[in-house]
Structure 1
């Protein structure tokens, strides 16, 4: 039986020497790493060993014996326990430096590109209260309907009313809707028994428009007294322009079901991004930090060095936010997205913004890019904004064959960004990378990379 330098439930004193990419403190006992929440490099802590594995273990701080100069007081320990704000114990300056180093580390380790300039992370003037969307589970706690968030690695609901990183108006709206549901004796969902009804409350609010959408996700097709509930929601939340009932009857962790109906108003809200107006429906992907998204897109456009002669392909275009943001700077934009409904939204958004030099198509980016090239379309710029899993090797092969002069890669995962940059090989030179903090108080980091074709 293998032995380790520490044992489960043992209390130890340990020096914190580093942070994981998730923001956990790292200490070592005879070379064996322990990952410890709410600890920072430079601190000495008394810790309880919670779990011991083959390569590393986990611990919990019982007492801090020394404090890092980068430490700030916790706003609410529940935000750590649920993982909502895992970096809230760090100064914001330290968070930004941590995210810059994340990008530098993966460039060194994964893509072997230590010489690529990684610029200092761009943060927010006010790095709290930024999220324009909330998806809040509903469960029974202490015999009443409650809202909050799950404790990490569990489905135990921790009641929370101030989510810290969400628009405070949204936080208050969640409490208002929760109290209305209690008033009408709506039964909260019981995950273990698959009984009860109300599963989630989702709220979207326009950063500029202040239009609000309320989505009630239920297990069954009926909400008892829904007409009266709608009437009270509208009275108590005057910003609401859309109330949606979504039905999700399945035993699943997926939040939204396939069927929705409008209980009030329209099935979307509108908001602005870089001066353009977008329709945002309940299932639409829309960046949750509007202020930083504008900076992200502006950086992408600046990196691309756009001119009126440029033809641009926007792969993974979603509802068209990037394509429409840059359309007035270039000759034409071609947007491609695998989700048909997103392309329908993008086409509507182009129409309402009176933009006619864009073409949106639903389908596989690789296939459509090949078709466009065969039909004589020769893009000078390719913009990619893939999901966390990054680009596929076949997409990168197609992009290299298409040979745009510049590629702007917007990434939400530094590890897959580094992997993909390496796959572009000798065909493209990575000029610079700009980390941008779209998710303050969390370990997530967005980055914009500029690749230029090697002639």
Structure 2
């Protein structure tokens, strides 16, 4: 096999980045825009020792699960890797992804994983679900100012102000910002020359509160004629917060260190409701959160309610437990649990998040939740030494994609809580960490996927493990 060879493939699986996978003489070939079941003609673009990459040149026979994408930019944009796959097929793929990771990486028995895994929780409507969007601003070949998303693996902007995964308010905000820039002669930032002013527009929307936040990220410290922009943005229904973030650094990080409010409040609020895990209908109980431009807050609030309700169920709380929530962020899970526990401690390494979590506790009148700054393993170890007579009943972890730190896992095993609830956004690192915990005296009880990210290859998963009693 060589570069530029044309080969015929039947697509059997999907890779981590959404590319279809077929086999040619035993070698895996990754083909972008192909779905499971497609028969394709593909042109080899790169050959490695054990695998190759190819470009789809002809769809010889379409898979039964192939559909027409709702968005005309789906193929070019890097956001929706599998929008051309039927949604039920997407869910099946994500279930297999979780199952196969636990078996292949975690070393668990396949039949056992099937036995402890409940069906994935899908969305009623797998579009328009994101409460947050970050749009880069640039200039197209014709010299026009544009907003959109980066094409896959590039920093070339695909103009699109009405993403199919976002809320309708995004379009109104972006039209307003682009018109302001054109009318007032405000330049877009150019990554190549490092010149120009406006870099990104960050938009957050409260699904429950209907409040809207706009943060303009600039390569500088001020906006020309900012009152013109403020006046126009304030005409959009629900506008609650307009801010300016300064990011003059040569970096891929979107937000800089300094944010100032131009109009309104520094935060918006939103609420998450407890749901009955039998049918996922909302119950009356809700928790309200303050959200700033920098806050970590799950982007799909409807599915988050289902995810956190499952986490609460798996925690098995009776009201007498001491619970630790590691990687707690602004306290989203901590406060969800606090109403059902004796005491909750949240741990987070970001100072602003700890402050926000405490403010969120006060906002909800919750007095049995405390938030501590530091690495989880350090804070937990110090607390256990100072409170030798106290025990940790339940630990909940919701780490970033890279999973738990090895020292954090060691500390959890040392403290021996009765139950651990692991919320994961990466089945691979979940499987790795579960193997460590199960080797340390725990057993896997329940596994369930929750599709937080329809049209993409990503999925969340919540797992219950319990201490073995011999």
TM-score, normalised to structure 2, is 0.93
1:168 and 1:75 mapped to 2: Cα distance? 15
Contact kept in structure 1, 2:78 and 2:153, CA below 8 Å: no
Q: 1:281 aligns with which of 264, 281, 292?
A: 292
Secondary structure of 1:103's aligned partner: helix
Q: Which residue in the other structure is 1:262 paired with? A: 261
Q: How many Å apart are 1:238 and its aligned residue? A: 3.1
Q: What is the CA deviation profile of residues 382-425 of structure 1, one whole-angstrom value per residue up to 9, with x for unaligned ones?
A: 10001111111211111111111000000011000000001111
Deviation at 1:175, TM superposition (A): 2.7
8 Å CA contact 1:25, 1:37 repeated in 2: yes
Q: Do 2:128 and 2:165's aligned partners in 1 also have CA atoms closer than 8 Å?
A: yes
Secondary structure of 1:350's aligned partner: helix
8 Å contact kept, 2:244–2:260: yes
Q: Which runs of 5+ in 2 are unaligned?
A: 274-285
Match of 1:290 among 295, 301, 318: 301
Residue 402 of structure 1: aligned partner = 415
How much has 1:247 moved relative to structure 2?
A: 0.6
Distance in 1 between residues matched to 2:10 and 2:58, nearest whole Å: 12
2:367 aligned with 1:344, yes or no? no
Map of 1:29 onto structure 2: 24
Q: What is the CA–CA distance in structure 2 between the aligned matches of 1:23 and 1:222, rounded to whole Å?
A: 40
Aligned positions of 1:7-18 closer than 5 A:
7-18=2-13
Residues 407-426 of structure 1 aligned to structure 2 (within 5 Å):
407-424=420-437, 425-426=439-440
Secondary structure at 1:397 match in 2: helix
Question: 1:23: how far off?
Answer: 2.6
* Dislocated runs of 4+, deviation >3 Å: none
User: Residue 329 of structure 1: CA displacement?
Assistant: 0.9
Distance 1:368 1:13 in 2: 56
Unaligned runs of 5+ in 1: none
Please give the residue correspondences for 1:221-236 in structure 2 after superposition, counting only pairs within 5 Å. 221-235=221-235
Is 1:85 matched with 2:85?
Answer: no
C-alpha distance in structure 1 between counterparts of 2:454 and 2:179, whole Å: 29
Contact kept? 1:184, 1:229, Cα under 8 Å: no
Q: Contact 1:180–1:233 (CA<8 Å) still a contact in 2?
A: no
- Could you tell me which residue of structure 2 aligns to residue 324 of structure 1? 335
Length-normalised TM-score, structure 1: 0.96
- The C-alpha deviation readout for 1:113-159, integer Å capped at 9, x for no partner, is 12232222110000100000010000011211100111112111111
Distance in 2 between residues matched to 1:172 and 1:224, nearest whole Å:
21
Partners of 1:286 and 1:447 in 2: CA distance: 17
Question: Is the aligned partner of 1:446 residue 2:457?
Answer: no
The separation in 2 between residues aligned to 1:416 and 1:172, in whole angstroms, is 39
Alignment: residue pair count: 449
For the 8 Å contact 2:180–2:228, the answer to whether it is kept is no
Once the two structures are superposed, the pairs formed by residues 151-300 of structure 1 within 5 Å of their partners are 151-235=151-235, 237-274=236-273, 275-300=286-311
Task: Tell me whether 225-234 or 177-186 shows the greater mean CA deviation.
Answer: 177-186
How far off its partner does 1:81 sit? 2.0
How far apart, in 1, do the equivalents of 2:341 and 2:153 lie? 47
Three-state SS of the structure 2 residue aligned to 1:299 is: helix
Between the aligned partners of 2:153 and 2:36, the Cα distance in structure 1 is 25
The alpha carbon displacement at 1:77 in A equals: 4.7
Helix, strand or coil at the partner of 1:288: coil
Q: Distance in 2 between matches of 1:371 and 1:360?
A: 14
Name which of structure 1's ranges 38-47 and 298-307 shifts more when overlaid on structure 2: 38-47
Q: CA deviation at 1:278?
A: 0.8
- 1:435 is aligned to 2:430: no
Conserved 8 A contact 1:174-1:203: no
Equivalent residue for 2:60, pick from 54, 61, 65? 65
Does 2:374 align with 1:360? no
The partner residue of 1:392 within 392, 405, 409 is: 405
- Given that residues 96 and 437 in structure 1 are in contact (C-alpha distance below 8 angstroms), is that contact kept between their aligned partners in structure 2? yes
Report deviation, 1:67. 1.4
* Correspondence for 2:90: 95
1:381 corresponds in structure 2 to 394
